[in-house]
């Protein structure tokens, strides 16, 4: 088993399995301490710079509140607040901010941008979302599954929807890393990115895990322990919304589709959700849905990550 030490968190693959399980254990401890009113100021005097080139509800609030609860401070910076918006290089911005803060979280578009930023930074860099990956969300997802199933290894997870987006890529990586079985069901032309899939397929093969793609969502969700979906049109794809709706209608997560899953399946969605599009209200507001626990766990999982990287 790989025993590397985290420097940055740009993808889930920046973690070893031991680190992943350690972060989940720590997140559960921090969650319980918060509920019991036990102070845990592990980052007293530390500052996190938060760069937002994409807007957010959960990412901003969870990181900002998380730093406060850890005894530190978070600075919100959108692109208009930075010289990045006036042409300063990514590398120069990274070098300057590294002299002011103890860690940097970035939510941006191209994944290459955060890789360039991290290569120049001298403090830990966390990916709060790029077009290709969303590792902090999946860290919270895996924590949520573990809380309900009391295990990750051997759990059957299925993603239904757009296979070529940041959530799917990070879920694939996270599932393989955690020892889960993973299935993806998407319409033709929306399969997962080739590089992500090939790497995950090789890793899953070495470990004897299942990683499969299905065009038929009903076949994919058969006996699923966890069903995950996401919006059909992500930020920046608004002009494609009508065309995407046509492609994805057969992939709606509804009562009929979920009838093929295990009786105690969990439903996850990173939110925001569009009820009656990618998921029906009956499912997302039903007894199998854990989407709000999942959203809360962004706070706890990210606190564990911040403590690990900046403590």
Catalytic residue numbers read: 107, 134, 137, 230, 270, 298
d(CA 33, CA 31): 5
Q: Is 137 annotated as a binding residue?
A: yes
The annotation status of 59 as a binding-site residue, yes or no, is yes
Question: Is 258 flagged in the annotation as binding?
Answer: no
Q: Any binding-site annotation on 225?
A: no
Residue 270 marked in a binding site: yes
Q: Does 271 carry a binding-site annotation?
A: yes
Given a contact cutoff of 8 angstroms between Cβ atoms, the answer to whether 145 and 171 are in contact is no
Using CA atoms, how far residue 209 sits from 37, 100, 193, 212, in Å, is 40, 44, 19, 10
Is 250 labelled a binding residue? no
Per-residue three-class SS string for 119-168: HHCCCCEEEEECCCCCHHHHHHHHHHHHHHHCCCCCCEEEEECCCCCHHH
- Annotated ligand binding at 150? The verdict is no
Between CA 135 and CA 129 the distance in angstroms is 7
Q: According to the annotation, is 5 in a ligand binding site?
A: no
Does 234 appear as a known binding residue? yes
Eight-state DSSP code of residue 240: G
Residue 244 known to bind ligand: no
Strands (E), the chain: 47-52, 73-78, 103-107, 125-129, 156-160, 181-185, 211-214, 226-229, 266-269
Instruction: Indicate the SS3 state at residue 79.
Output: helix
User: Measuring CA to CA, which residue among 169, 199, 206 is closest to residue 184?
Assistant: 169
3-state SS, residue 75: strand
Distance CA 49, CA 66 (A): 13
Cα–Cα separations (whole angstroms), residue 163 to 50, 59, 195, 202, 311: 28, 22, 13, 18, 35
Q: Which residues contact 246 (CB under 8 A, 6 or more apart)?
A: none
**Binding site membership: which residues?**
56-59, 83, 107, 134-137, 166, 230, 234-235, 270-271, 298
**Binding site membership for carbamoyl phosphate: which residues?**
56-59, 83, 107, 134-137, 270-271, 298
**Binding site membership for L-ornithine: which residues?**
166, 230, 234-235
């Amino acid at each position: 088993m790989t025993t590397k030490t985290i420097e940055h968190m740009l993808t889930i693959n920046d973690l070893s399995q031991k680190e992943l399980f350690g972060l989940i254990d720590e997140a559960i401890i921090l969650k319980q301490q918060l509920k019991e009113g036990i102070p845990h100021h592990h980052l007293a005097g530390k500052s996190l710079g938060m760069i937002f080139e994409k807007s957010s509800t959960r990412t901003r609030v969870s990181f900002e509140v998380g730093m406060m609860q850890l005894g530190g401070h978070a600075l919100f910076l959108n692109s208009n607040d930075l010289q990045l918006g006036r042409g300063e290089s990514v590398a120069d911005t990274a070098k300057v901010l590294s002299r002011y803060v103890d860690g940097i979280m970035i939510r941006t578009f191209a994944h290459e941008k955060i890789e360039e930023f991290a290569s120049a930074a001298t403090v830990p860099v966390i990916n709060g979302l790029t077009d290709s990956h969303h590792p902090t969300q999946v860290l919270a997802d895996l924590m949520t599954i573990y809380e309900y199933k009391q295990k990750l290894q051997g759990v059957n997870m299925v993603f239904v929807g757009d296979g070529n987006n940041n959530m799917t890529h990070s879920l694939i990586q996270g599932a393989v890393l955690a020892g889960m079985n993973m299935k993806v069901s998407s319409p033709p032309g929306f399969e997962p990115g080739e590089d992500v899939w090939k790497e995950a397929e090789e890793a899953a093969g070495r470990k004897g895990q299942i990683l499969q793609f299905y065009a038929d969502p009903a076949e994919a969700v058969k006996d699923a322990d966890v069903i995950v979906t996401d919006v059909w049109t992500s930020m920046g794809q608004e002009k494609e919304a009508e065309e995407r709706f046509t492609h994805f209608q057969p992939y709606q997560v509804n009562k009929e589709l979920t009838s093929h899953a295990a009786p105690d399946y969990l439903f996850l969605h990173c939110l925001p959700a569009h009820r009656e599009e990618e998921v029906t209200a009956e499912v997302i507001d039903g007894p199998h849905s854990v989407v709000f626990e999942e959203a809360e766990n962004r706070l706890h999982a990210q606190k564990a990550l911040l403590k690990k990287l900046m403590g």
